[in-house]
């Protein structure tokens, strides 16, 4: 029951940053599964990977503000990665499992953060300072 990620069009206007972020993440996902098969997909993924990759689970809301999602999600993610001995700016061997509606999308963390930088309009240097803020807040 594992499928390639599919495109899910948002019903929100193009100006909604949360909807744009969600669309970018879904388009960049390398795998999607129905939510009820997540545990099986996670087990298969870690078996194939040999347990090398860190998986981080989160939910992308259908509604709400980008600012609220951003401020609740990214500082915790950065702190978690740092606590795991990983650099949040270059999170290699990290996969985000993002639940949206009834599906779970697997996306490389580097692409997840790239979507963040695109929505926020940040270059690498500005992102570096944002990560520092997250880690020290």
Q: What is the mean pLDDT of each run of 10 residues along the chain (137 residues)?
A: 46 76 98 97 91 93 96 98 96 96 98 98 98 96
pLDDT value for 51: 78
38-42: long-range pairs with CB below 8 Å, 24+: 38/97, 38/99, 38/104, 40/1, 41/1, 41/2, 41/104, 41/106, 42/97
> CA torsion sign, 14 to 20 to 22 to 24?
positive
CA–CA separation, 79 and 81 (whole Å): 5
Nearest Cα neighbor of 97 from 72, 48, 60, 51 is 60
Q: Which tokens sit at 14?
A: 């193009």
CA–CA separation, 135 and 88 (whole Å): 9
Sequence spans of domains, the chain: 17-135
CA angle, 7 as apex, 99 and 75 as ends, to 5°? 40
pLDDT value for 14: 58
| Threshold 0.75, pTM exceeds | yes
CA angle, 31 as apex, 49 and 83 as ends, to 5°? 55
pLDDT value for 12: 44
pLDDT value for 104: 98
Give 119's contacts (C-beta < 8 A, 6+ positions apart): 17, 20, 21, 24, 66
């Amino acid at each position: 029951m594992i499928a390639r990620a599919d495109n899910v069009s948002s019903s929100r206007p193009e100006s909604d940053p949360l909807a744009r972020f969600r669309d970018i993440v879904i388009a960049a996902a390398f795998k999607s599964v129905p939510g009820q098969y997540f545990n099986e997909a996670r087990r298969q993924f870690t078996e194939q990977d040999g347990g090398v990759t860190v998986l981080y689970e989160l939910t992308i809301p259908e509604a709400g503000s980008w600012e609220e999602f951003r401020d609740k999600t990214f500082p915790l993610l950065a702190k978690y990665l740092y606590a795991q001995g990983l650099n949040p700016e270059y999170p290699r061997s990290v996969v985000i499992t993002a639940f949206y509606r009834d599906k779970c999308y697997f996306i490389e963390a580097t692409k997840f953060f790239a979507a963040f930088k695109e929505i926020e309009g940040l270059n690498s240097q500005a992102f570096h300072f944002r990560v520092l803020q997250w880690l020290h807040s």
